């Protein structure tokens, strides 16, 4: 897995990149009550706002971690947003992207660097 400073994780599955938020992010948000996901087929540019998470504490935007196309969303989260708190790095992934060049992930943090980042 790779990690961003915005507390997103990325996992390569074949030619797709799966994106979600980290356990640290889900703990900081508190109980998630609403998730708005992007439309499948949406072309995004790195740092575009692509999803919204609302919790009892705050609302947060999920930014596109890389350029690409949203090819699948985890619609289960719209019906069960609390899954983000229960399994943030597993079943509660947000979307899958087709990325032109997977080497863009090489510059992102690995797990050890992310743990150091969150201190």
Strand, coil or helix: 14: coil
**Among candidates 92, 78, 71, which has minimal Cα distance to 21?**
92
Q: Examine residue 58 and state whether it is found in any structural domain, yes or no.
A: yes
- Dist. CA 14–CA 25, nearest whole Å: 26
Q: Examine residue 75 and state whether it is found in any structural domain, yes or no.
A: yes
Q: What pLDDT shows up at residue 31?
A: 96
Q: Examine residue 79 and state whether it is found in any structural domain, yes or no.
A: yes
Tell me the pLDDT of the chain (119 aa) as tens digits: 999 999 999 999 999 999 999 999 999 999 999 999 999 999 999 999 999 999 998 899 999 999 999 999 999 999 999 999 999 999 999 999 999 889 999 999 999 999 999 99
CATH of the domain at 12: 2.40.50.100
- Quick one: which H or E segment has residue 83? helix 83-86
Structural domain boundaries enclosing 39: 2-100
Number of domains forming the structure of the chain? 1
Half-sphere exposure of 110 (CA within 13 A, CB side): 2
- Dist. CA 41–CA 93, nearest whole Å: 17
Q: Examine residue 19 and state whether it is found in any structural domain, yes or no.
A: yes
pTM, two decimal places? 0.94
Q: Examine residue 54 and state whether it is found in any structural domain, yes or no.
A: yes
């Amino acid at each position: 897995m790779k990690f961003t400073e915005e507390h997103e994780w990325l996992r390569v599955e074949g030619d797709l990149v799966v994106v979600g938020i980290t356990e640290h992010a889900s703990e900081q948000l508190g109980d998630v009550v609403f998730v708005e996901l992007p439309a499948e087929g949406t072309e995004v540019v790195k740092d575009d706002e692509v999803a919204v998470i609302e919790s009892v504490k705050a609302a947060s935007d999920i930014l596109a971690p890389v350029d690409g196309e949203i090819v699948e969303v985890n619609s289960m989260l719209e019906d069960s947003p609390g899954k983000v708190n229960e399994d943030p790095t597993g079943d509660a992934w947000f979307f899958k992207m087709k990325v032109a060049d997977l080497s863009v992930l090489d510059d992102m943090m690995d797990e050890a660097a992310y743990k150091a980042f969150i201190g």
